[in-house]
Amino acid sequence: MPVNILMPALSPTMEKGNLAKWLKKEGDTIKSGDIIAEIETDKATMEVEAVDEGILAKILVPDGTNDVAVNEIIGVIAAEGEDVNAAAPAKAEAPKAEAPKAEAPKAEAPKTNAPKAEDAPAASTQAAAASSGPRPFASPLARRLAKEAGLDLAKVQGSGPHGRIVEKDIEAAKAGGGAKAAPAAAAASAPVAKPSTAPLASGMSDEAVKKLFAPGSYEEVPHDGMRKTIARRLLESKQTIPHFYLTIDCELDALLKLRAELNAAAPEKDGKPAYKLSVNDMVIKAIALSLRAVPEANVSWTENTMLKHKHADVGVAVSIPGGLITPVIRDACHKTLSQISNEMKDLAARAKNRKLKPEEYQGGTTAVSNLGMFGVKDFAAIVTPPHA
């Protein structure tokens, strides 16, 4: 029976993404675990891993398609010689992935999702369940292991960032034996409410701004997904989080001396120093220790409760082409300076190549923005929601 390949959710709040490119072509043999495509979000480029085996019979959403809705059918895997004509009507749905770009959401919104349950009658029950209800938030490896073990992901408690189901959760479920797949009961789970988003702007319209300048005196550069997200998050931050700023002067002579001594004492690895500490590495360590000493500051805000975190997970602002991203150093207060330094270099390098996983830049309990390397003496950073 043909199996639909669905646009995956790379984070709990993801609603759509861009299908950057296919790494397999129609007719290629697919094995479970193969990387078959690359998906771009506003923050990173992620690989899509196959959880089924067979032949890539049809590609329904081509390379370079933007704004593909989560759970949209992007391709079909079938066994050799299997008829996939029943899934062919879904091809007409591919252009609808771009419908959210339209300015009239009232007319467009129902068209994107309503017909999906009928698009591929020959598709497996796995795909049907994904279309009819919220898809469990799990890594590709966890999905494959759950399928092999006959586990129902809806009954598995995730321990990863934002409750993501990871490999160890599947192993725990297998040992406990309490998450075996039921006939179809899990598909009836209640729909997840979509998070509300603040409007990007409430000031002058595009046309009003353009009228202030002579035609031909400017070039229009459309906003990409990252730029729109940054604008929305900055507005959300300023509208919903009270900001206040305190400034003191610090003598860092002792810190700089310690840094020089530690770098000079670094052992060699492959002919190079095993680490090279920066001032920023020490700032990360210092704020993590401060949050452990003052747990009242290590919190996140919700409408009903204050989440008091047990670990100091420090996000660090990293400039990347076209925007900014905040990879997270987990449990930084229990890591050595050399561990923080090496991990930060790895995260920053992969951030610039848009290769971070969602769990590597989501879920921090605080954030560091450092412009000291540019000679900046003082600046007013904006609090990242839901930091408090």
In this prediction, residue 73 carries a pLDDT of 92
In this prediction, residue 167 carries a pLDDT of 78
Parts of the chain with a pLDDT under 50: 88-133, 182-201
Find, among 32, 13, 138, 114, the residue nearest to 70 by Cα: 13
| Cβ pair 361, 213 in contact under 8 A | no
Residue 288 makes CB contacts below 8 A (sequence gap 6+) with 312, 314, 329, 332, 333
User: How is domain 3-132 classified at the architecture level of CATH?
Assistant: Beta Barrel (2.40)
pLDDT digits (tens, 9 = 90+) for 7-23: 988 777 778 888 989 99
CA 138 – CA 44 distance, rounded (Å): 18
Q: Which CATH superfamily is domain 241-374 in?
A: Chloramphenicol acetyltransferase-like domain (3.30.559.10)
Q: Can you give the residue ranges of every domain in the chain?
A: 3-132, 136-185, 241-374
Query: Dihedral through CA 79, CA 135, CA 196, CA 68, nearest 10?
Result: -10
Q: What values do phi and psi take at 178, rounded to 5?
A: -105, 10
Q: Which CATH superfamily is domain 136-185 in?
A: E3-binding domain (4.10.320.10)
| Cβ pair 74, 108 in contact under 8 A | no
| Cβ pair 71, 135 in contact under 8 A | yes
In this prediction, residue 251 carries a pLDDT of 92
* DSSP line for 211-225: TTS-TTSS------H
